[in-house]
Amino acid sequence: MRLKGRIALVTGASRGLGAAAALAYAREGAHCILVARTVGGLEAVDDQIQALGGSATLVPLDVTDGPGIDRLGQALYERFGKLDILLGNAGLLGMLAPVGHIEPDIFERVMAVNVTANWRLIRSLDPLLRQSDAGRAIFVTCDISRRVVPYWSAYAASKAALDMLASTYAAECGHTSVRVNLYDPGPLRTKLRKEAFPGENPETVSSPEAHAEALIELALPSCALNGEWVAGHQDDSTG
């Protein structure tokens, strides 16, 4: 019960890495705020958390709804007065295509989900993280942001922007009790990975559950890392 009594908010919590992280946090005693668009997926994760003896609050919300994120911050303040853990996990691949062939609405949606939503989360939740004795913010990234791979421009650019956003936020939190880090799980058995590599055998890449311990460690009050890129894998050339 390393996170007993702590409040953890996870975006993209209805499946994949977000669901695995929420279950891990709940298993360690945290109360989880589960954010995702899919009500059925949220309820399925909640059922698993309850089966563990844990507790969760379900928030059906599209992370691109900025005013909705602001309302969420206000509701969390009124109910809990603080936030201990923020896991910015929700992500969108978009489409793999030459730069000039990407459809504008898809490009804008990728930026909205992968970058702007995380900025809105920081904007709304930073005061709550500062009310914690040890606020921890973790943002899920990808090493594609550090390499040039044809056809991956929208996703790679969005993750590069997220990296700089989170790193700057970390620098601004250096004098506080808040710690901010990036986590790169590498190739992962998720819907996003399947969209990018439809012919890949999913059993050849790691499961979301394999990253639970790393995400717990980054959420612990004892975690002293700040502004770090934490890789949960060996470098992979396939994105």
Cα 155 from Cα 157, distance rounded (Å): 6
Q: What are phi and psi of 103, to 5 degrees?
A: -70, 135
CB 1 within 8 A of CB 28: yes
Determine which one of 25, 151, 155, 183 is catalytic: 155
169 classed as catalytic: no
Q: Which residues contact 135 (CB under 8 A, 6 or more apart)?
A: 82, 83, 84, 85, 86, 128, 129, 176, 177, 178, 179
- Its sign, for the CA torsion 153, 20, 34, 138, is negative
> Rounded to 5, what percent of the chain is helix, strand, coil?
50, 15, 35
CB 9 within 8 A of CB 35: yes
- Known catalytic residues? 155
